Amino acid sequence: MMNHSSCCQHPDITHGMWLDIDAVIAENRNTPGALITVMRKCQNIVGYLPAALLDYIARGLNIPGSKVFGVATFYSYFSLTPKGRNTIKVCMGTACYVKGIKESIDRISAKYSVKEGKTSEDKRFSLEAVRCLGACGLAPVMVVNADIHGSISADKVIDILDKYS
């Protein structure tokens, strides 16, 4: 059994997190094809997947590190960089686009100095353009953390986002 304290240290991963990560790896070690499941659970624990953690998962599951890195960069769910305190997901589905979500995105970018796919310098917001959320009845749609906001407009977004600090 691997022991995290002897092999890796990371400023963003606490002792408790390492224990949870070990449990996830131990549970899935013998399941074929469990890599994506393990990575999802580990990202839920830490918030993102730092390189040291990818290495750790690779050794834990006995998979080459290159393969783990390949999978991590292939799927949009995985993030290799830390996220802001609040994550804004703007839906880039066709219905939202036709109804003018681009204007809202431009306004968010300008107001909070955060580019699409990036995190603002003060770590307040991460802005992600995501694939269709399937809530086209509410288009244009924005999800902040777990809150869904429908029928947004360039004017409304700032009022909504100002409430998240």
Partner 1 sequence: MDKPRTQLMLCGGTGCHSTGMSAFKETLQQALEKENLSREIRIVETGCNGFCAVGPVMLVQPEGIFYQKLRPEDVPELIREHFLKGRPVKRLFYTEPASKESIPDMNSIPFFAHQQFRVMRNKGLIDPEVIDEYIARDGYFGLAKALQDMTPQQIIEEVKVSGLRGRGGAGFPTGLKWDFAHKSPGDVKYVLCNADEGDPGAFMDRSVLEADPHAVLEGMIIAAKAINSHQGYIYCRSEYPLAIKRLEIAIRQAREYGLLGMNILDTGFDFEIDIYQGAGAFVCGEETALMRSIEGRRGMPRPRPPFPARKGLWDKPTILNNVETLANIPQIMLNGGKWYAGVGTETSKGTKVFALSGNVNNIGLVEVPMGTPLRTIIYDIGGGIPERKKFKAVQLGGPSGGCIPESLLDTPVDYEAIAKVGAIMGSGGVIVMNENTCMVDMARFFMDFIQDESCGKCTPCREGTRRLLQILEKICNGNGEPKDLEDLVELSDVIKNSALCGLGQTAPNPVLSTLRYFRDEYVAHIVEKRCPAKRCVSLLRFEVDPDLCKKCGLCFQVCPAHAISWEKKQIAVIDKEKCIQCLSCYAGCRFDAIL
Where on the chain is the footprint of partner 1 (CB under 8 A)?
32-37, 39-40, 67, 70-71, 74-78, 92-95, 97-100, 103, 106-107, 110, 130-139, 141, 148-150, 154-155
Between residues 52 and 132, which has the closer beta carbon with respect to partner 1?
132
Between residues 14 and 77, which has the closer beta carbon with respect to partner 1?
77
Q: Identify the CA nearest to 83 among candidates 128, 19, 146.
A: 128
Between residues 14 and 37, which has the closer beta carbon with respect to partner 1?
37
CB of 45 to partner 1, least distance (A): 16
CB of 41 to partner 1, least distance (A): 10
Using CA atoms, how far apart are residues 14 and 10, in angstroms rounded to an integer? 8
Between residues 19 and 110, which has the closer beta carbon with respect to partner 1?
110
Q: Identify the CA nearest to 14 among candidates 23, 3, 24, 4.
A: 4
CB of 9 to partner 1, least distance (A): 27
CB of 68 to partner 1, least distance (A): 10
CB of 123 to partner 1, least distance (A): 23
Between residues 13 and 108, which has the closer beta carbon with respect to partner 1?
108
